[in-house]
Structure 1
Amino acid sequence: MSAASSVDDGDVRQFTVTKDDDGVRLDRWFKRNLPAVGFATVSRWARTGQLRVDGKRADVDTRLEKGQVLRVPPGGSAPPGIKSARPKKPLTEEQITLAESMVLTQDRAAIVLNKPPGLATQGGSGTHEHVDGLLDAYADEKGPRPRLVHRLDKDTSGVLLIARTPGSAAFFSKRFSGRTARKIYWALITGVPEIKDGLIELPLAKQPGTGGEKMMVDETEHGQSARTRYRVIGRAGNAACWVELQPLTGRTHQLRVHMAAIGHPIVGDGKYGGQAAFLTGAISRKMHLHARRLRIEHPEGDLLDVTAPLPDHFAASMVHLGFHEADGDLPLEQVKLVPDKVIEKRAAKAHAKEYRKERRGERRKRADAPPSGRSAPKPRAGVKKGPGSKAPTGTALARASAGRASAERNAAERAANGGKPVRRAPAPGKTGGGKPPAGKAPRRGPKP
């Protein structure tokens, strides 16, 4: 039973949140249990304080917990015992057989599938056969319909987790969004990376003009952070190698774009690797990317750890290249995850530092430049010139040398004269003391 109800005075109802609805938003609870009550009505009840959870006012985005009591005012239709489930989609015998063949393990909270390559996870334009359309094959007669928790690309095979109840769906979704779930992929790639154990950190964004169907590396502010850990398990000469991939973020086509970006596209991934993604000989042209293992916390407190066997084409390529599956299950190392907010802060800090450097260089150039319309000031006496200053000219050197010789001669003559200054006769045509030469009258200015 999804909710237990009792009627108070005035038809005010109370519902006890069960395990299936643990962790869901209040508006989602109404959609599941009281579908006749629209979102506008729920919002009005919350805004006016008529919705109460354990006696406290609640908003539409309040997360419910098992055992809480929800007070609902009159209106809408309460489910008789359990909510009415939508009619199950009729499936053919082939669809039921396919659905059953994919199951790796299941319990009251989860169904773990081994999705084959070529089967889409969800429907879309022109896609009629998909995993989401087969989920009614796993539904109980009176229970809720199972739901997807995460996705795999159409041509990617491997572990796919399905939640059996709304409560387990909320639980698993929180583990995926919090990145505590660990996913291990196997891939065959062309060539051999120079670094055998590396971390790819390249932001991704949707490629313009593709309708969001293709991603690209975008190191501008529009790119979203994306990180992939890879380890080389084995190599087939220089033509190809077998790698283990761990996505540390969950961007669309992340593994495919990252491997192509470092020059080693996944074998068979023509979308991102072009013709370079295909090997000659007996190697299949299908994409060789497989979700090998998933380890995630279970709602009952255990650890769900599931491994999916390889599809036929991948296994055949492994044999052809001389690889052995037993060599690939390496210890699952713990990689310290850095939250996106921390990475964004680091990037912003680095950008601000670079901007300050550029501004500091501009200020120095302006300070060194002379004012507009003026020549650079001459250095004062005693100021040393920098390393880039010009050397003195020949004329300046000659003047300095002549000055030193005159000083030395005067000192020698004074010493010879007992330390007294020496009086020299004026040169021919010159007189000392400022008097004019003999026989010549001083020049006068013009008469007024």
Structure 2
Amino acid sequence: MKIRILYEDENLLAIDKPAGLVCHPVGGYQGDTVVSQLSYLYPEDIHLLHRLDKNTSGVLLVTRGKKIIKKMYNQFARRLICKTYLAVVHGVVKSHQGTIELPIARACSASLIKLKMTTENPQGLAAKTDYRVLNTTEEHSLLHLQPVTGRKHQIRLHVAAIGHPIVGDYLYCRSGIPFLWQYYLQRSSPWHENIKGHALHAHSIEFEHPLLQDQIKISAPLPQHLDNIMKGF
């Protein structure tokens, strides 16, 4: 899986991460990652400014060297960077637009499922996601989402918590069957053969360039498998 460069200057990169590619080595995984591919292409230090889950596609910001890294992290901390996502979820979302505010904490089953999170712990970190319904079918909804905070698995967990999990998401699905297929049989369930990863795409990111002082908006085109799904709306 090759990375496409969406924007590049001496200090900053914006890439289009494909679904199925891990951002950086984690745990015992030392295979192909975003970091390993970029380190091969760019001799200077590469720093990911944020993360995308393995099965999420879309735009990702990366610094080249350390000149602007603190200024960019400061923008993230002050919530000055606007990220938008597109997602196909199960069911018809009745409210045309809304805000999901539920705390996020590591699930009690974290020892078995390392990355699983929960909204059921009131002591979790505050998390907020704005959403808008773009279109619906009899079985699915197409959502435009803007995470105000940036917690692990935030969008996936928030939409699942209101009863509309993302299509193809095995971790936060409605029942355990697709999860069992994915994690114990090591292959995708037959219910989602037409989806690579899950139907969540980091569509755009907007920020102020710390050196150029320009407001920059970068968008990543839909990958083919998601484009085919969204044509049905």
Smaller-chain TM-score range?
0.7 to 0.9
Write the deviation string for residues 4-25 of structure 1: whole angstroms up to 9, x where unpaired: xxxxxxxxxxxxxxxxxxxxxx
Within 1, Cα distance between the matches of 2:218 and 2:196?
27
Structure number, greater radius of gyration: 1
* C-alpha displacement of 1:283: 4.5
Corresponding position of 2:229:
317
Corresponding position of 1:294:
205
* C-alpha displacement of 1:172: 1.1
Q: Is contact 2:82-2:205 (8 Å) kept?
A: yes
Q: Map 1:321-360 onto structure 2 (within 5 A).
A: 321=232, 323=233
Q: Map 1:391-402 onto structure 2 (within 5 A).
A: none
Q: Kindly report the root-mean-square deviation, in angstroms, between the aligned alpha carbons of the 2 structures.
A: 2.1
Q: Map 1:39-50 onto structure 2 (within 5 A).
A: none
Within 2, Cα distance between the matches of 1:201 and 1:179?
16
Alignment CA distance shift 1:204-1:281 (3 Å): closer
Within 1, Cα distance between the matches of 2:60 and 2:116?
22
Which structure is higher in strand share? Answer: 2
Write the deviation string for residues 300-327 of structure 1: whole angstroms up to 9, x where unpaired: 20112100001111011112x2x3xxxx
Write the deviation string for residues 146-187 of structure 1: whole angstroms up to 9, x where unpaired: 211111000000000010120212121111111100000000
Q: Tell whether 2:206 aligns with 1:304.
A: no
Q: Structure 1 stretches of 5 or more lacking a match? A: 1-94, 324-448
Identify the match of residue 258 of structure 1 among 158, 162, 166. 158
Within 1, Cα distance between the matches of 2:191 and 2:120?
32
Within 2, Cα distance between the matches of 1:156 and 1:301?
30
Q: How many residues align?
A: 218
Write the deviation string for residues 330-362 of structure 1: whole angstroms up to 9, x where unpaired: xxxxxxxxxxxxxxxxxxxxxxxxxxxxxxxxx
Q: Is contact 1:284-1:313 (8 Å) kept?
A: yes
Q: Structure 2 stretches of 5 or more lacking a match? A: 179-188
TM superposition score normalised by structure 2: 0.87
SS of the equivalent of 2:172 reads helix
Alignment CA distance shift 1:313-1:173 (3 Å): same
Q: Tell whether 2:8 aligns with 1:116.
A: no
* C-alpha displacement of 1:219: 4.5
Corresponding position of 1:147:
47
SS of the equivalent of 2:45 reads coil
Write the deviation string for residues 362-418 of structure 1: whole angstroms up to 9, x where unpaired: xxxxxxxxxxxxxxxxxxxxxxxxxxxxxxxxxxxxxxxxxxxxxxxxxxxxxxxxx
TM superposition score normalised by structure 1: 0.46
Q: Tell whether 2:63 aligns with 1:163.
A: yes
* C-alpha displacement of 1:213: 1.2
Q: Tell whether 2:136 aligns with 1:235.
A: yes
Alignment CA distance shift 1:163-1:285 (3 Å): closer
SS of the equivalent of 1:167 reads coil
Alignment CA distance shift 1:236-1:285 (3 Å): farther
Q: Map 1:4-403 onto structure 2 (within 5 A).
A: 98-99=2-3, 102-127=4-29, 128-140=31-43, 144-211=44-111, 212-220=114-122, 222-237=123-138, 239-275=139-175, 283-284=194-195, 286-299=197-210, 300-319=212-231, 321=232, 323=233
* C-alpha displacement of 1:218: 2.9
The AA in structure 2 aligned to 1:313 is: H
